[in-house]
Structure 1
Amino acid sequence: MRIENSTEKDISEIFRLYKLATEFQKEKFPENQWPEFDQTLIEYEIAGNRQFKLMIDDEIACVWAITYSDPEIWKDDDGVSALYIHRIATNPNFRGNNYVKIIVDWAKAFAQDKKYIRMDTCGENKKLIQHYKNGGFDFLGIKKLGSVSNLPSHYQNADVCYFEIKL
């Protein structure tokens, strides 16, 4: 098992995993699922070394992205104190292995100069909230976002769950 930066060669697999994750969301949580993401966003993250993959043997088991600033969601974001994790999507062949804990351990080492690791999710999905708590996050509560201009459509006027790990 190893964690690596995603490359342009991974884009089709990243989108396949996003599609499968969205289908899973529709089945399990019909009130809220991901929109179709713009390929230029993924290309931008890959170029900036902010899109990652967990490899098992030669297969992508899980992907996620990071950012260093997220002010539309996290109003107290100062642009330097936190590492934000987004869009964790697990290959269905590897579901049930709690990769959140592995991502958290990786993020703690990766974000050595940060004060927080943060994550959010839309909707009040009690199982997902517990899953992230089991992965080491503190659940900070739910807040309603208003109109947001620089975020994907599923954030518009959404109830957002906030998660944080203090480092």
Structure 2
Amino acid sequence: MNHTITVATKSDVSSVIHLLKEVAGWLKENEINQWSFLLAGGEDNEIKQDIVEGNTYIVSTETEIIATFTLLPTQSEWDLHIWGDDNELDSLYLHRLAVKPSYMKNGLGANILHWIQENVKPRLTLLKLDCVADNHKLNSFYKNNGFTHIGTTLDGHSKYIKDI
């Protein structure tokens, strides 16, 4: 599959939000407890802000956006909740990695993680993320892509790290 990864622009805001809601709807339909708050617009302003600040990326074919992810070089409010006051200044936080359902199960997610590893090496050395602990497929996906599970929060979020 031919695709490109670029930094999202202001003109991509509605497309990124639409894609995230499409994935959240797919997760809900498949009874996967992840991102239900997105369906009600739970992070629309934060998503827009991350795009404006140049932290969100889109994965596109010639005709459509097929995936998105956000990389934060500093902790968000959510990261503080998950990781506490993280003193590792060389960390990058991965948020909202989403692949359009019709493109799932073809290695695109793994390709994105590889792209991140290859393209952020000069700046940072640790990639951190979290996901709902009872989302077994997603937890397996991160483990199978070289992430180390370092614990679970009291409110049920798995924490993962990977050297990049």
TM range (shorter): 0.7 to 0.9
Q: Provide closer, same or farther for how the CA distance between residues 99 and 30 of structure 1 changes in structure 2, counting only shifts above 3 A.
A: closer
- Cα separation, 1, equivalents of 2:119 and 2:36: 26
Q: Which residue of 2 aligns with 1:117?
A: 127
Deviation for aligned residue 1:52: 0.4
- Cα separation, 2, equivalents of 1:32 and 1:89: 11
- Cα separation, 1, equivalents of 2:34 and 2:8: 27
Q: Which residue of 2 aligns with 1:163?
A: 160
1:9 is aligned to 2:11: yes
Could you tell me which runs of 5 or more consecutive residues in structure 2 were left unpaired when the two chains were aligned.
Answer: none
Q: Which residue of 1 aligns with 2:91?
A: 82
Write out the 4+ residue segments of structure 1 that deviate beyond 3 Å after TM superposition: 29-34
1:51 is aligned to 2:56: yes
- Cα separation, 1, equivalents of 2:8 and 2:140: 28
Q: Which residue of 1 aligns with 2:23?
A: 21
Could you say what secondary structure the match of 1:72 adopts? helix
% identity of equivalent residues = 23
Alignment of 1:149-160 (within 5 A): 158-160=155-157
Normalized against structure 2, the TM-score is what?
Answer: 0.83
Deviation for aligned residue 1:111: 2.4
From 65, 68, 80, the equivalent of 1:71 is 80
- Cα separation, 2, equivalents of 1:38 and 1:74: 20
Instruction: Give a deviation string over 1:101-132, Cα, whole Å, max 9, x none.
Output: 22222222332232211111123221111111
Please state which structure has a larger fraction of its residues in helix: 2
Matched length: 154
- Cα separation, 2, equivalents of 1:54 and 1:30: 23
RMSD between superposed Cα atoms in Å: 1.9
Amino acid at match of 1:108: Q
Q: Which residue of 1 aligns with 2:35?
A: 33
Deviation for aligned residue 1:8: 1.7
Deviation for aligned residue 1:34: 3.2
1:136 is aligned to 2:146: yes
Q: Which residue of 2 aligns with 1:92?
A: 101
Verify the 8 A CA contact 2:33 2:135 in the aligned structure 1.
no
- Cα separation, 2, equivalents of 1:96 and 1:30: 16
